[in-house]
């Protein structure tokens, strides 16, 4: 029974640590342009070809440091609770 639990744990860990890829080609050109503007990537203008924008977005995305998913989720929950508390307090006023 213990070996089954260990195998399940390893399976979950391999899924978590697997490299996840994002297919930016599914996004429309306007979304790619917004990504570039948001992260201030290069000199993208209205005449830049989609392929150039797509390559720039992909290079930027893979160059980002990996995130600690547990920490991100924990911080998200904390922020959501804080927002809920702030909303409840403002309704009382």
pLDDT tens per residue, range 3-33: 445 555 555 455 455 556 899 999 999 999 9
What's the total number of domains in the chain? 1
Which of 2, 8, 10, 17 lies closest to 70, judged by CA? Answer: 17
Mean pLDDT computed over every residue of the chain: 83
Which of 1, 58, 66, 69 lies closest to 32, judged by CA? Answer: 58
pLDDT given at position 2: 47
Residue 75 has pLDDT above 70, yes or no: yes
Q: What is the mean pLDDT of residues 46-70?
A: 93
Which of 28, 39, 29 lies closest to 63, judged by CA? Answer: 39
Expressed as residue numbers, the domain containing 72 is: 22-92
- Angstrom distances, CA of residue 62 to CA of 3, 24, 65, 71: 36, 12, 8, 20
| Domain presence at residue 4 | no
| Domain presence at residue 57 | yes
| Domain presence at residue 14 | no
């Amino acid at each position: 029974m213990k070996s089954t639990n260990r195998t399940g744990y390893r399976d979950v860990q391999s899924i978590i640590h697997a490299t996840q890829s994002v297919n930016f080609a599914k996004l429309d050109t306007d979304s790619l342009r917004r990504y570039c503007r948001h992260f201030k990537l290069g000199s993208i203008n209205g005449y830049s070809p989609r392929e150039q924008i797509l390559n720039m977005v992909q290079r930027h995305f893979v160059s980002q440091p990996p995130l600690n998913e547990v920490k991100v989720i924990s911080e998200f929950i904390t922020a959501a609770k804080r927002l809920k508390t702030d909303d409840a307090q403002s309704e009382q006023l």
